[in-house]
Chain A
Amino acid sequence: MATTRDIKGRIRSVTTTKKTTKAMNLVSSAKMARARGRLNAANPYFMLTRKTIGDIINGCVEIISAEDFPFFEGNRPLKKALVVAIANDRGLCGGYNANVTKKAAMVAAELSDDGKDVTFLTIGNKARDFLRRGGARIISHYGGISESPTVLDAQDIVKELVGLYEQGTVDEIHVVYTEFVSAITYVPKSIRMLPLSAGDFPPEEGHKAGLIKFEPSSTDVLTRVIPKYLSTTMYETLITSAASGQGATMTAMDSATENAENIIDNLTLVLNRVRQAAITQEISEIVGGANALE
């Protein structure tokens, strides 16, 4: 039977753990608030970019063929696929990393069912660790940016992706990320970044895709604007992943704190019971001893 000293020791240790998880909860909630602020600030930009690119693509699919502009679908058969998986750099965030990598593996499985050769590019150390354990081929990795990604990070990644695409190392690029819904909810999602197709940008209801003029020329505009669009998309997936990753950490640490509290309550109960039992025993021993003397 546990002595009061053992139980006191355990209570102390759980209390320290609780302090740690509580602190981590506060830290990640501050980080999440920041990421969320940046996400909100960038939201009009994301929305208008999508709208504008939709207008541009719908306005020029008829004049520019995929042979002239390799970013469009139909330029070549899609045989080699790249899956970009975005997760956290660290654990302690509940099922977050597992959920993202599971989604990435699912996307990859679908692609390889279609007879495509699938490789990965990972962002966040946990994405790399999880996928490597599953035997995935990872051709490139970015660590240390998941927590607070910048526009420059997104541009660097897109530069590499566009390079891979243009060299023909990969024919299509999918990005798996999590969409930030609220502090406690996120949805793992996947989008196809390249090649682009007009079907990805359905024209708005009642909005006719009018003829658009391009200055100086349609190819000039496309070659300059599409990389910007890709960077924007990358930045959006990074920042919404960052916010949901921090949200997941926050929730995980919150429930860890709660668990610690429960354990402390239970241990305190046991401690009192043990102490009482010890006192009762002592009294009965004294009484027994006194009786024996008579």
Chain B
Amino acid sequence: MATKKFRLKIVTPTRLTVDKDVSMVIMQTIDGQIGVQAGHIPVVTVLDHGVLRYYDDEKIEQVAVFGGYAEINQKEVIVLAETAERPEDIDVERARQAKERANRYLAEQRAEMDTMRAKVALRKSLVRLELSGQPLTPDKK
């Protein structure tokens, strides 16, 4: 049975990343994951850096979304993000280096400002690695 579809738009200041009809979207909000299907009540929510999945019939596609928020209304889901990356956009090597660098920073226990920045960097690199399908080694706390 084909589920009812709705429009998904993911836009950033540099491009319109996604604009298509999908049957379900799962996104990472700052309060945890939410899944949206057609007919969802109107919601505005703030997104965490994370992987957004959407189902186009049987196909599942993924996009990493950074610094965004989403509006869900009767007709469509609009995701406005600072950056959005598809799996093929991701430089795995760079993400891995960023992750190691961030971990090193955190281990060194610097000033609070640096720690916060390193945590964000770590989070972003983990999202990128997740999206590129790399195995995530458990990170040491």
Chain A interface residues toward B at CB < 8 A: 38, 41-42, 44-45, 48-49, 51-52, 55-56, 59, 151, 210-216, 220-221, 224-225, 228, 232, 235
Question: What total of chain B residues lie within 8 Å of the partner, measured CB to CB?
Answer: 25
* Interface, chain B (partner A; CB < 8 A): 9, 11-16, 29-31, 34, 41-46, 67, 69, 71, 73-74, 78, 80, 82
The total of interchain contacts (Cβ-Cβ below 8 angstroms) comes to: 80
Shortest CB distance B9–A (Å): 7
Q: Which residue of A lies closest to B15 (CB)?
A: A41
Q: Give chain A residues whose Cβ lies under 8 Å from the Cβ of B82.
A: 151, 228
Give chain B residues whose Cβ lies under 8 Å from the Cβ of A235.
Answer: 13
* Complex Cα gap A211–B71 (Å): 13
13 chain-A/chain-B pairs, Cβ below 8 angstroms: A41-B13, A45-B80, A48-B80, A49-B80, A52-B44, A55-B42, A56-B71, A210-B42, A213-B42, A220-B30, A221-B46, A224-B30, A228-B82
For A235, the closest partner residue in chain B by CB is B13
Tell me if A's interface is mostly helix, strand, loop or mixed: helix
Flag if B9 contacts A48 (CB, 8 Å): yes
Given contacts A56-B44, A221-B46, contact A215 B29 (CB under 8 A): yes
* Most chain B beta-carbon contacts within 10 A, residue among A45, A210, A221: A45
Residues of A within 8 A of B29 (CB): 215-216
B43 near A44 (CB under 8 angstroms)?
A: no
Partner of A214, one of B13, B45, B67, B78: B45
Check B46 against A225 for contact (C-beta < 8 Å). yes
- Given A49-B80, A52-B78, A220-B46: A151 in contact with B41 (beta carbons within 8 A): no
